[in-house]
Amino acid sequence: MLNRHPTATASLTRIVGAVSAGRSTAGQEIAAAKDRIAEADGEIAAFLRKAPAESLELAAAATGPLAGVAIGVKDIYDTRDMASENGSSIYAGHRPVTDAALVSMARVAGAAIIGKTTTTEFASLDPTPTRNPRNLDHTPGGSSSGSAAAVAAGMIPLAFGSQTGGSVIRPASFCGVAALKPSFRLLPTVGMKTFSYTLDTAGFFAATAEDLALATRLLTGRDLVEGPFGEGGGLRVGIYRSSVDDNVDAEMHAAVEAAAQLLERSGARIVEVEEPAALAEARASHETVQGFEAVMALSDEFRNHRNSLGPKLGAVLDQGAAITPGDYDVARRAARIGRKAASSLFETVDVLIAPSALGPAPKGLESTGDALMNKLWTLTGNPVVNVPGFASSAGLPLGVSVVARFGRDARALAAAALLQDLIAGQ
């Protein structure tokens, strides 16, 4: 059995419960988050800027269901009270007039938007200075670098990120926190800088799957209760065997096998699920879909500010500009067929489990890692929850993905919560 890795300690469930019961106040919880950021962020560099005092004063007086919850927001989301720079010098000092839809929803629910977290340029590949709280010599992943790191360091209980390839699930795996990449369009992306309009997905980071479910319910008003699968009885779990599994680190494979053993001992039925050819082809189409759409979404930046772009983003857009509409249409058809094939996977299982990344976080800050294990589920739009808790022999976090049928986010969250409890109980 692999080592168990500790998760973050800032509990959204505790904060919501304490404020609603009168054991704490919104102002006290916000002040505590500010103190944690001041203490920890100097060496981690998860935050780009902090909210102005007047915004936090308003949040301290809030009475909504998320009162007292400090949220870090990836800097591709518009915020009316702070600059929104998209990780790019092109947008230096840019100040939107309105909040992104998800940011506004959080404020309406009483949350405090405590600051903007780092992002790779336009949520692409050029890394940020943010360091992994679990080991400062390793990348936190990307593109939601700051959001994952801020939650992993216990600074805040909730952070907003986004995923176009693997930018929520991979950094969550690297940093050892829970994360939700929900069903496509469950959360609004209005006011979030577009990279690929058929792939961009808003997502959350938190300490636990329970916290993720609570945050999603309180923000959206959706009933996300399913289960709970307290003992795993009746839960059908498929170990997803993909065509790219040869790229996965042996210790990551071991983490998935350990997760399967824990679920089986709890009463779940475990089966092997081999990847159909349609889904292998869909994964291969991701790069074409993303590149073609990125050139259109960033057309002005690419045409008029090419020399200001980071080298990795520039290369992505140069490659995207060479993709023909015909190639894009072929890739879109593969994606559409893949989505149908993904739905059919869940005729015999309730959820799938799979690696959240190729392995532990790479050493150094020159790369944010590889999204190979995440691209398929972003393309198909299935909900994915990263479950933290395992660790490599070097002590670096390893995450396991729980994947459910499109629209069954509650099922993914419930199964993930069960698995996280089982890991913690080892």
Report all structural domains of the chain as residue ranges with CATH numbers, in order of start: 3-230 (3.90.1300.10)
pLDDT in tens, 194-211: 999 999 999 999 999 999
* Cβ-contact 3, 390 below 8 angstroms: yes
Looking at the predicted structure, is the pLDDT value of residue 8 above 60?
no
Element (H, E) at 12: helix 12-20
pLDDT in tens, 304-361: 999 999 999 999 999 999 999 999 999 999 999 999 999 999 999 999 999 999 999 9
Confidence band of 1 (pLDDT split at 50, 70, 90): very low
Cis amide leading into 343 (omega within 30) = no
Cis amide leading into 228 (omega within 30) = yes
Bin 374: left if φ > 0, else alpha if -120 < ψ < 50, else beta. Answer: alpha
Element (H, E) at 146: helix 145-152
Confidence band of 225 (pLDDT split at 50, 70, 90): confident
Bin 213: left if φ > 0, else alpha if -120 < ψ < 50, else beta. Answer: alpha
Q: What is the pLDDT of residue 3?
A: 61
Mean pLDDT across 239-259: 98
* Cβ-contact 193, 87 below 8 angstroms: no
DSSP string across 180-211: EE-STTSS--TTB--S-TTT-EEEEEESSHHH
Q: What is the pLDDT of residue 257?
A: 98
Mean pLDDT across 87-108: 98
Mean pLDDT of the chain: 96
Q: Token digits for 284?
A: 């291969």
